[in-house]
Amino acid sequence: MKIAVIGSGSTYTPGLVLRWLETKRDRIPIQEICLYDLDPQRLALVGNFVQAMVEHEAPGVRTVQTTDLEAAIRGAHFVVLQIRVGLNRQRRIDEHLCVEHGFLGQETTGPAGFLLALRQIPPSLEIARAVQRLAPEAWLISVANPAGILAEALIRHGHDRTIGMCHGGFFPRTRIARLLGVEESRVAFDYVGLNHLGWATRIWLDGRLVPPERMRQMAAALFETWNRTELSLPTEFAEDFCPPLAISYYHAHYFMHDESVAEARRLGKTRADAVLQLEQACLDYYRTQVGRQFVPPPELGQRGGTLEEKRKGTYGWRRCSAIPSVTSATLPPARCWTTYWRPTASSCRSSLWARPDGCIHP
Protein backbone atom coordinates (compact mmCIF):
# COMPACT_ATOMS: atom_id res chain seq x y z
CA MET A 1 0.00 0.00 0.00
CA LYS A 2 1.14 3.51 -0.84
CA ILE A 3 0.09 6.63 1.06
CA ALA A 4 0.85 10.05 -0.41
CA VAL A 5 0.94 13.09 1.87
CA ILE A 6 0.37 16.32 -0.06
CA GLY A 7 1.86 19.21 1.85
CA SER A 8 4.45 17.12 3.67
CA GLY A 9 6.42 20.19 4.69
CA SER A 10 3.75 20.66 7.35
CA THR A 11 4.97 20.27 10.91
CA TYR A 12 2.04 17.87 11.43
CA THR A 13 3.47 15.20 9.11
CA PRO A 14 5.61 13.40 11.72
CA GLY A 15 2.53 13.10 13.94
CA LEU A 16 0.65 11.29 11.19
CA VAL A 17 3.51 8.85 10.71
CA LEU A 18 3.98 8.38 14.45
CA ARG A 19 0.32 7.44 14.91
CA TRP A 20 0.63 4.77 12.23
CA LEU A 21 3.87 3.46 13.72
CA GLU A 22 2.41 3.28 17.22
CA THR A 23 -1.06 1.86 16.64
CA LYS A 24 -1.96 1.08 13.03
CA ARG A 25 0.92 -0.88 11.52
CA ASP A 26 -0.85 -4.21 11.89
CA ARG A 27 -4.04 -2.90 10.25
CA ILE A 28 -2.62 -0.65 7.53
CA PRO A 29 0.00 -2.58 5.54
CA ILE A 30 1.98 0.35 4.16
CA GLN A 31 4.87 -0.36 1.84
CA GLU A 32 5.51 3.24 0.76
CA ILE A 33 5.03 6.67 2.30
CA CYS A 34 5.39 9.34 -0.37
CA LEU A 35 6.03 12.86 0.91
CA TYR A 36 5.21 15.68 -1.52
CA ASP A 37 5.65 19.42 -1.17
CA LEU A 38 6.22 22.41 -3.43
CA ASP A 39 9.05 23.69 -1.24
CA PRO A 40 12.07 21.38 -1.55
CA GLN A 41 13.85 22.88 1.49
CA ARG A 42 10.84 22.52 3.78
CA LEU A 43 10.17 19.05 2.37
CA ALA A 44 13.73 17.94 3.11
CA LEU A 45 13.65 19.39 6.62
CA VAL A 46 10.47 17.59 7.68
CA GLY A 47 10.92 14.66 5.30
CA ASN A 48 14.34 13.73 6.63
CA PHE A 49 12.94 13.59 10.17
CA VAL A 50 10.06 11.38 9.01
CA GLN A 51 12.41 9.15 7.05
CA ALA A 52 14.59 8.66 10.12
CA MET A 53 11.49 7.79 12.16
CA VAL A 54 10.41 5.18 9.65
CA GLU A 55 13.89 3.68 9.22
CA HIS A 56 14.18 3.37 12.99
CA GLU A 57 10.76 1.81 13.62
CA ALA A 58 9.78 0.19 10.29
CA PRO A 59 12.89 -0.33 8.16
CA GLY A 60 10.99 -2.33 5.55
CA VAL A 61 8.82 0.65 4.59
CA ARG A 62 10.01 2.87 1.76
CA THR A 63 9.95 6.64 2.31
CA VAL A 64 10.06 8.85 -0.77
CA GLN A 65 10.37 12.63 -1.02
CA THR A 66 9.27 14.36 -4.21
CA THR A 67 8.25 17.71 -5.66
CA ASP A 68 6.49 15.94 -8.55
CA LEU A 69 2.76 15.87 -7.79
CA GLU A 70 1.88 13.25 -10.39
CA ALA A 71 4.64 10.94 -9.18
CA ALA A 72 3.34 11.32 -5.63
CA ILE A 73 -0.25 10.47 -6.56
CA ARG A 74 0.32 7.72 -9.09
CA GLY A 75 -0.26 4.33 -7.51
CA ALA A 76 -1.44 5.75 -4.18
CA HIS A 77 -4.21 4.05 -2.21
CA PHE A 78 -4.70 7.06 0.05
CA VAL A 79 -3.87 10.72 -0.50
CA VAL A 80 -3.78 12.97 2.58
CA LEU A 81 -4.31 16.63 1.66
CA GLN A 82 -2.88 19.12 4.18
CA ILE A 83 -1.85 22.13 2.12
CA ARG A 84 -1.94 25.78 3.18
CA VAL A 85 -1.61 28.33 0.38
CA GLY A 86 0.42 31.29 1.60
CA LEU A 87 1.61 29.40 4.67
CA ASN A 88 1.08 30.73 8.17
CA ARG A 89 2.73 34.02 7.26
CA GLN A 90 -0.27 34.78 5.08
CA ARG A 91 -2.58 33.66 7.87
CA ARG A 92 -1.02 36.28 10.11
CA ILE A 93 -1.52 38.98 7.47
CA ASP A 94 -5.17 38.02 7.08
CA GLU A 95 -5.88 37.96 10.80
CA HIS A 96 -4.19 41.27 11.53
CA LEU A 97 -5.93 42.86 8.57
CA CYS A 98 -9.26 41.73 10.00
CA VAL A 99 -8.50 43.20 13.43
CA GLU A 100 -7.34 46.44 11.85
CA HIS A 101 -10.75 46.84 10.22
CA GLY A 102 -12.78 45.77 13.25
CA PHE A 103 -13.34 42.10 12.47
CA LEU A 104 -12.22 38.92 14.13
CA GLY A 105 -11.36 35.75 12.29
CA GLN A 106 -9.05 32.82 12.03
CA GLU A 107 -8.35 30.23 9.38
CA THR A 108 -11.93 28.95 9.43
CA THR A 109 -13.99 31.93 10.59
CA GLY A 110 -14.66 35.49 9.54
CA PRO A 111 -13.05 37.28 6.59
CA ALA A 112 -9.70 35.57 7.23
CA GLY A 113 -11.34 32.17 6.87
CA PHE A 114 -13.04 33.18 3.64
CA LEU A 115 -9.77 34.54 2.22
CA LEU A 116 -8.12 31.23 2.98
CA ALA A 117 -10.97 29.42 1.22
CA LEU A 118 -10.44 31.51 -1.90
CA ARG A 119 -6.79 30.52 -1.92
CA GLN A 120 -7.23 26.88 -0.97
CA ILE A 121 -10.08 25.72 -3.20
CA PRO A 122 -8.52 26.15 -6.70
CA PRO A 123 -5.26 24.24 -6.06
CA SER A 124 -7.07 21.65 -3.94
CA LEU A 125 -9.44 20.95 -6.82
CA GLU A 126 -6.45 20.58 -9.14
CA ILE A 127 -4.97 18.01 -6.77
CA ALA A 128 -8.31 16.19 -6.44
CA ARG A 129 -8.70 15.98 -10.20
CA ALA A 130 -5.17 14.65 -10.46
CA VAL A 131 -6.14 11.92 -7.97
CA GLN A 132 -9.25 11.20 -10.05
CA ARG A 133 -7.11 10.86 -13.16
CA LEU A 134 -4.03 9.07 -11.81
CA ALA A 135 -5.41 7.03 -8.90
CA PRO A 136 -9.20 6.89 -9.32
CA GLU A 137 -9.65 4.18 -6.67
CA ALA A 138 -7.69 6.09 -4.04
CA TRP A 139 -9.34 7.84 -1.11
CA LEU A 140 -8.58 11.53 -0.75
CA ILE A 141 -8.57 12.56 2.92
CA SER A 142 -8.67 16.34 3.31
CA VAL A 143 -7.66 17.86 6.62
CA ALA A 144 -6.88 21.27 5.20
CA ASN A 145 -8.74 24.37 6.33
CA PRO A 146 -11.29 25.83 6.08
CA ALA A 147 -12.46 22.27 6.49
CA GLY A 148 -16.17 22.51 5.69
CA ILE A 149 -16.23 24.61 2.54
CA LEU A 150 -13.11 22.91 1.20
CA ALA A 151 -14.53 19.43 1.73
CA GLU A 152 -17.76 20.43 0.00
CA ALA A 153 -15.82 21.75 -2.99
CA LEU A 154 -13.71 18.60 -3.22
CA ILE A 155 -16.67 16.25 -2.95
CA ARG A 156 -18.83 18.13 -5.43
CA HIS A 157 -16.24 19.14 -7.99
CA GLY A 158 -13.05 17.18 -7.38
CA HIS A 159 -12.84 13.48 -6.52
CA ASP A 160 -15.84 11.35 -5.56
CA ARG A 161 -13.87 9.27 -3.04
CA THR A 162 -13.19 12.16 -0.69
CA ILE A 163 -13.38 12.44 3.08
CA GLY A 164 -13.37 15.90 4.65
CA MET A 165 -12.53 15.95 8.31
CA CYS A 166 -12.03 18.20 11.29
CA HIS A 167 -11.46 17.27 14.91
CA GLY A 168 -14.16 19.77 15.94
CA GLY A 169 -16.90 17.18 15.55
CA PHE A 170 -15.04 14.53 17.53
CA PHE A 171 -13.32 16.01 20.55
CA PRO A 172 -16.42 16.97 22.65
CA ARG A 173 -16.62 13.55 24.29
CA THR A 174 -13.01 13.82 25.45
CA ARG A 175 -13.57 17.26 26.92
CA ILE A 176 -16.90 16.33 28.48
CA ALA A 177 -15.43 13.19 30.05
CA ARG A 178 -12.58 15.16 31.54
CA LEU A 179 -14.91 17.77 32.96
CA LEU A 180 -16.91 14.98 34.57
CA GLY A 181 -13.79 13.12 35.67
CA VAL A 182 -14.84 9.83 34.04
CA GLU A 183 -13.86 7.54 31.17
CA GLU A 184 -15.09 8.51 27.71
CA SER A 185 -17.04 5.28 27.38
CA ARG A 186 -19.41 6.44 30.13
CA VAL A 187 -20.39 9.63 28.29
CA ALA A 188 -22.98 10.26 25.57
CA PHE A 189 -24.21 13.59 24.23
CA ASP A 190 -26.31 15.31 21.59
CA TYR A 191 -24.30 17.60 19.30
CA VAL A 192 -25.63 20.36 17.06
CA GLY A 193 -23.80 22.83 14.83
CA LEU A 194 -20.68 22.84 12.70
CA ASN A 195 -17.12 21.92 13.51
CA HIS A 196 -16.14 25.32 14.94
CA LEU A 197 -19.58 26.42 16.06
CA GLY A 198 -21.24 23.60 17.96
CA TRP A 199 -22.99 22.76 21.20
CA ALA A 200 -23.64 19.75 23.35
CA THR A 201 -27.35 20.19 23.99
CA ARG A 202 -27.75 17.24 26.37
CA ILE A 203 -25.20 15.07 28.15
CA TRP A 204 -25.66 11.61 29.65
CA LEU A 205 -23.40 9.96 32.21
CA ASP A 206 -23.94 6.22 32.53
CA GLY A 207 -27.27 6.69 30.77
CA ARG A 208 -28.52 9.37 33.17
CA LEU A 209 -29.11 12.94 32.01
CA VAL A 210 -26.67 15.49 33.43
CA PRO A 211 -28.73 18.32 35.02
CA PRO A 212 -28.48 21.90 33.67
CA GLU A 213 -26.74 23.23 36.79
CA ARG A 214 -23.97 20.66 36.41
CA MET A 215 -23.60 21.61 32.75
CA ARG A 216 -23.18 25.26 33.74
CA GLN A 217 -20.45 24.29 36.18
CA MET A 218 -18.74 22.30 33.43
CA ALA A 219 -18.96 25.25 31.05
CA ALA A 220 -17.46 27.64 33.59
CA ALA A 221 -14.55 25.26 34.19
CA LEU A 222 -14.01 24.80 30.45
CA PHE A 223 -14.01 28.54 29.71
CA GLU A 224 -11.63 29.18 32.58
CA THR A 225 -9.20 26.72 31.00
CA TRP A 226 -9.53 28.32 27.58
CA ASN A 227 -8.97 31.78 29.00
CA ARG A 228 -5.47 30.76 30.05
CA THR A 229 -4.42 30.01 26.48
CA GLU A 230 -6.79 31.65 23.99
CA LEU A 231 -8.80 34.78 23.41
CA SER A 232 -11.98 33.26 24.68
CA LEU A 233 -15.28 33.51 26.50
CA PRO A 234 -15.68 34.80 30.03
CA THR A 235 -16.92 32.32 32.59
CA GLU A 236 -20.09 34.40 32.91
CA PHE A 237 -20.99 33.19 29.43
CA ALA A 238 -21.59 29.76 30.96
CA GLU A 239 -24.32 31.09 33.21
CA ASP A 240 -26.03 33.11 30.49
CA PHE A 241 -25.96 30.63 27.61
CA CYS A 242 -25.69 27.13 29.09
CA PRO A 243 -27.24 24.71 28.48
CA PRO A 244 -26.42 24.01 25.71
CA LEU A 245 -22.72 23.65 26.44
CA ALA A 246 -20.49 25.54 24.00
CA ILE A 247 -17.61 23.15 23.30
CA SER A 248 -15.39 25.35 21.10
CA TYR A 249 -13.54 28.52 22.03
CA TYR A 250 -14.40 29.80 18.54
CA HIS A 251 -17.72 30.87 20.02
CA ALA A 252 -15.92 34.00 21.17
CA HIS A 253 -15.72 35.08 17.53
CA TYR A 254 -19.51 35.16 17.36
CA PHE A 255 -20.85 35.93 20.83
CA MET A 256 -18.06 38.14 22.21
CA HIS A 257 -16.95 39.62 18.89
CA ASP A 258 -16.32 43.25 19.87
CA GLU A 259 -14.66 42.27 23.13
CA SER A 260 -12.39 39.82 21.32
CA VAL A 261 -11.40 42.42 18.71
CA ALA A 262 -10.58 44.88 21.49
CA GLU A 263 -8.49 42.25 23.24
CA ALA A 264 -6.60 41.42 20.04
CA ARG A 265 -5.87 45.11 19.51
CA ARG A 266 -4.69 45.49 23.09
CA LEU A 267 -2.35 42.52 22.80
CA GLY A 268 -1.24 43.39 19.27
CA LYS A 269 -1.34 39.74 18.25
CA THR A 270 -3.68 37.01 17.04
CA ARG A 271 -3.64 33.22 17.09
CA ALA A 272 -1.45 33.27 13.98
CA ASP A 273 1.40 34.89 15.93
CA ALA A 274 1.39 32.01 18.41
CA VAL A 275 1.13 29.45 15.60
CA LEU A 276 4.16 30.93 13.83
CA GLN A 277 6.24 30.65 17.00
CA LEU A 278 5.15 27.07 17.57
CA GLU A 279 5.78 26.18 13.95
CA GLN A 280 9.32 27.56 14.12
CA ALA A 281 9.98 25.62 17.32
CA CYS A 282 8.83 22.43 15.58
CA LEU A 283 10.99 23.10 12.53
CA ASP A 284 14.04 23.78 14.71
CA TYR A 285 13.39 20.49 16.49
CA TYR A 286 13.13 18.55 13.21
CA ARG A 287 16.35 20.15 11.98
CA THR A 288 18.41 19.46 15.09
CA GLN A 289 16.93 16.19 16.31
CA VAL A 290 16.77 14.22 13.05
CA GLY A 291 18.10 10.72 13.69
CA ARG A 292 18.28 11.44 17.43
CA GLN A 293 14.63 11.70 18.39
CA PHE A 294 11.85 9.65 16.79
CA VAL A 295 8.73 11.41 18.09
CA PRO A 296 7.42 14.92 17.32
CA PRO A 297 8.25 17.79 19.70
CA PRO A 298 6.02 18.83 22.62
CA GLU A 299 5.24 22.10 20.83
CA LEU A 300 3.28 20.19 18.21
CA GLY A 301 0.65 19.51 20.88
CA GLN A 302 -0.08 23.25 21.01
CA ARG A 303 -0.70 23.64 17.29
CA GLY A 304 -4.16 23.89 15.77
CA GLY A 305 -5.65 25.68 18.75
CA THR A 306 -5.92 22.46 20.74
CA LEU A 307 -5.64 22.50 24.49
CA GLU A 308 -5.08 18.81 25.10
CA GLU A 309 -2.07 16.70 26.01
CA LYS A 310 0.97 16.65 23.81
CA ARG A 311 0.39 13.86 21.33
CA LYS A 312 -3.38 13.83 21.25
CA GLY A 313 -3.39 17.60 20.90
CA THR A 314 -2.32 17.65 17.25
CA TYR A 315 -4.01 17.22 13.93
CA GLY A 316 -2.08 14.15 12.83
CA TRP A 317 -3.82 11.99 15.45
CA ARG A 318 -7.15 12.46 13.68
CA ARG A 319 -5.71 12.08 10.19
CA CYS A 320 -4.28 8.70 11.06
CA SER A 321 -7.54 7.28 12.38
CA ALA A 322 -9.52 8.17 9.26
CA ILE A 323 -7.62 5.53 7.30
CA PRO A 324 -8.89 2.38 9.04
CA SER A 325 -12.32 3.98 9.54
CA VAL A 326 -13.13 3.63 5.85
CA THR A 327 -11.76 0.10 5.48
CA SER A 328 -14.37 -1.72 7.56
CA ALA A 329 -17.68 -3.04 6.28
CA THR A 330 -19.57 -0.41 8.26
CA LEU A 331 -18.34 2.88 9.62
CA PRO A 332 -17.70 2.64 13.37
CA PRO A 333 -19.04 5.22 15.82
CA ALA A 334 -16.92 8.35 15.99
CA ARG A 335 -14.07 8.05 18.43
CA CYS A 336 -13.68 11.36 20.19
CA TRP A 337 -10.00 12.16 20.29
CA THR A 338 -8.77 15.71 19.94
CA THR A 339 -6.78 15.53 16.73
CA TYR A 340 -6.51 14.15 13.21
CA TRP A 341 -3.87 11.43 13.54
CA ARG A 342 -6.21 8.70 14.76
CA PRO A 343 -9.16 9.12 12.35
CA THR A 344 -7.00 9.50 9.26
CA ALA A 345 -5.44 6.11 9.87
CA SER A 346 -8.77 4.58 10.83
CA SER A 347 -10.39 5.77 7.60
CA CYS A 348 -7.62 4.21 5.54
CA ARG A 349 -7.95 0.86 7.29
CA SER A 350 -11.73 0.79 6.89
CA SER A 351 -11.67 1.62 3.20
CA LEU A 352 -9.50 -1.40 2.48
CA TRP A 353 -12.52 -3.64 3.03
CA ALA A 354 -15.57 -1.82 1.82
CA ARG A 355 -16.66 1.53 0.53
CA PRO A 356 -19.09 3.50 2.72
CA ASP A 357 -22.28 4.79 1.19
CA GLY A 358 -21.50 8.37 0.32
CA CYS A 359 -18.90 10.59 1.89
CA ILE A 360 -18.21 11.42 5.48
CA HIS A 361 -18.75 14.88 6.88
CA PRO A 362 -17.58 15.44 10.43
Residues 165 and 186 in one domain: no
Helix axes 341-351, 316-325, angle to 10 degrees: 20
Residues 183 and 300 in one domain: no
Give the distance between the most distant pair of CA atoms in the chain: 57
Give me the domain span that covers residue 206: 172-267
Close Cβ partners of 108 (under 8 Å, ≥ 6 residues apart): 116, 145, 146, 147, 148, 195, 196, 250
Residues 115 and 183 in one domain: no
Residues 238 and 344 in one domain: no
Residues 283 and 263 in one domain: no
Residues 165 and 35 in one domain: yes
pTM of the entire predicted model: 0.84
* Beta strands at 2-6 and 32-36: parallel, antiparallel or unpaired: parallel
| Per-residue pLDDT tens listing for the chain (362 residues) | 999 999 999 999 999 999 999 988 888 999 999 999 999 999 999 999 999 999 999 999 999 999 999 999 999 999 999 999 999 999 999 999 999 999 988 888 889 999 999 999 999 999 999 999 999 999 999 999 999 899 999 999 999 899 998 776 667 888 899 999 999 999 999 988 876 788 899 999 999 999 999 999 998 888 777 776 665 567 777 677 788 888 777 887 888 889 889 988 999 999 899 999 999 999 999 999 999 999 999 988 777 644 334 344 444 555 566 666 665 534 333 332 234 555 566 666 665 654 444 333 33
Cβ neighbours, 10 Å, residue 290: 18
* Beta strands at 139-142 and 162-164: parallel, antiparallel or unpaired: parallel
359 within domain boundaries? no
Phi, psi of 348 (to 5 degrees): -65, -45
